[in-house]
Every structure is written in structure tokens, then in C-alpha cells.
Amino acid sequence: MRKSLLTVILGIVALASGCGRGGETIWSVAAPSPDGIWIATGRADRHSGPGNAAIVTGVYLQRIHDSGGAEPVLSFFNDLPPDKGGISLTIDWLTPSHLKITFSRHPDLYLQVVKASTFPCGTVKSLVRYGQLPG
């Protein structure tokens, strides 16, 4: 009885240890806004574990001097890492308040924010484009 209880406890600990908070970042790119107030970050995170293996690609927006976390602007599941043939993206600032995101092919977005944040200095908007990346 004692041995089987110990086996069950060890099994639960092993399963729980596979549930990481955010996955492993396998690709990333960052672009500061022209006025130096914002930073847009794109990254692909590989998640693994029982029932949750996935590559999630997202773009995040954060004020550069803000100690809070970055807010997601868009997210999608990727079939492969970007460097292995998955959907890749570029991030460009058209103006200090307009962010352009271009994909190598059309992703199935499960999150797309059009108006990311409003502050006295204005609103940051995202512009999503699909098509061949310059390269």
C-alpha cells in the first residue's frame, strides 16, 4: 500500500513538472517604435507536455519604460517553427502609432487586436498584411 501510494505521488509530480508557464521561446524578433515609446516583439513558443504540444506564434506590445508585462496583439498556432518552414512574420512601424505585421502565408489567427492601447500620447493600431515576405 505504501509503495503504491509513493508511486502515485511520484507520477503526479512528474506530470505536474511538465506543465510549464509559457513554453520555450524558439524564435523572436523585436522592433522599437520610431518615437522610442513602444517595443513590439514577435516570438514563437514551443509548448510540450501531455495533451498540449503546440507552437504558438504571437506579437506583443509594451511601453519601453513600463515594468508591466507585454500585451498580446495577435496570436496563432504554427505547424512548424518559423525557421523550419512554419509561418514567419516581420514587424515594421509605419508611424509611431501604426504597427505593420506581415506574414509569409495566411495564418489562422485566434487573437487579433486592432486597437492595442490608448494613452494621452495616442493610440497604437496594428495593420496586418498577408503575402510574401521580402527576402
pLDDT, tens only, 79-128: 887 778 888 888 999 888 888 888 888 888 888 887 655 444 445 555 55
Domain that residue 70 falls in: 22-130
pLDDT of residue 4: 58
- Could you tell me the three cell numbers for 7? 508511486
Q: Higher model confidence: residue 19 or residue 43?
A: 43
Cell of residue 16, nine digits: 505536474
Give me the number of domains the chain comprises. 1
What tens digit of pLDDT does each residue of 41-62 get? Answer: 999 999 888 777 889 999 998 8
Q: Indicate whether 118 belongs to any domain.
A: yes
Query: Would you say residue 6 lies in a domain?
Result: no
Q: Where are the beta strands (DSSP E) in the chain?
A: 24-32, 38-47, 54-63, 71-78, 89-95, 98-103, 109-112, 115-119, 122-130
Query: Does 36 fall in a domain?
Result: yes
